[in-house]
Amino acid sequence: MDAEAASSRSLATPLRGAIRLCRQAWHHTARAALDIALPTLCVACREPVAGEGLCPACWSSLSFIAEPFCPRLGIPFVYDPGPGLLSMQAIADPPAYQRARAAVRYDEIARTLVHALKYHDRTDLAPSMGRWMARAGRELLEDADLLVPVPILLLHVIEAVVQAYIFGMLALVYIASGMQAHEQTHGEGG
Ligand SMILES: [Zn+2]
């Protein structure tokens, strides 16, 4: 019995190896056929591209943000004004947040990438874009206790609620002042 079992095991091992090789060959062939039938296109210019994401021309057009930049807004400086100095925009109109960072300038190619990820299910772009953001925000991420994704829709809802509240308050103020004027007129008349 032991000899039979050992013999069947020794046959099963090469058979498993052969099946695995066949599977790999099938995957390679299917992938090659798919690449010929449906070549991967550059997200930005729609030219066929080897690999995923961007073609070399669009990739080299991406404008990655590096120092010097405004320590508050994260926008790049044309020249280095010295450590800790804020941009004119940050001084004139300070934002609600303390520090923000961006990986690339939001130009046409960057916008196409963001829209492809957000609206066209190109989740394959997420790993590389995530790495860019991690690199750009390294200094902030080191101090962070928690990472919280904020859906843009939620921001729009909050903005709409705040606006509705402000408009409601304004309406109440106008109604109250109108009632006061009415009472004064009637009071004077009576
Ligand atoms: Zn391209």
Nearest CA-CA partner of 48 in 124, 32, 56, 60? 56
Q: How far apart are CA 17 and CA 152, in angstroms?
A: 50
Question: pLDDT value at position 77?
Answer: 94
| Ligand 1 centroid, distance to 130 Cα (angstroms) | 20
- Mean pLDDT is lowest, of 53-62, 125-134, 155-164, 181-190, for 181-190
Question: pLDDT value at position 190?
Answer: 46
- Is pLDDT above 90 for 49? no
| Ligand 1 centroid, distance to 113 Cα (angstroms) | 11
| Ligand 1 centroid, distance to 45 Cα (angstroms) | 4
Question: pLDDT value at position 55?
Answer: 92
| Ligand 1 centroid, distance to 41 Cα (angstroms) | 8
| Ligand 1 centroid, distance to 106 Cα (angstroms) | 16
Q: pTM here?
A: 0.60
| Ligand 1 centroid, distance to 116 Cα (angstroms) | 13
| Ligand 1 centroid, distance to 56 Cα (angstroms) | 7
Tens digits of residue pLDDT in 123-154: 888 888 999 999 999 999 999 899 888 777 77
| Ligand 1 centroid, distance to 84 Cα (angstroms) | 37
| Ligand 1 centroid, distance to 110 Cα (angstroms) | 12
Can you give the residue ranges of every domain in the chain?
Answer: 13-65+101-148, 149-190
Q: How far is CA 35 from CA 32, 41, 58, 139, 141, in A?
A: 5, 10, 21, 40, 38
Q: How far apart are CA 190 and CA 187, in angstroms?
A: 5
Residue 57: CB partners within 8 Å, gap ≥ 6?
A: 45, 47
Nearest CA-CA partner of 110 in 54, 150, 152? 54
Q: How far apart are CA 103 and CA 74, in angstroms?
A: 9
Tens digits of residue pLDDT in 56-76: 999 999 999 999 999 999 999
| Ligand 1 centroid, distance to 129 Cα (angstroms) | 16
| Ligand 1 centroid, distance to 42 Cα (angstroms) | 5
In our burial notation (b when 16+ CB lie closer than 10 A, e otherwise), range 35-50 reads eeeeeeebbbeeeebe
Q: Which helix (H) or strand (E) holds 25?
A: helix 2-37
Nearest CA-CA partner of 70 in 96, 97, 90? 90
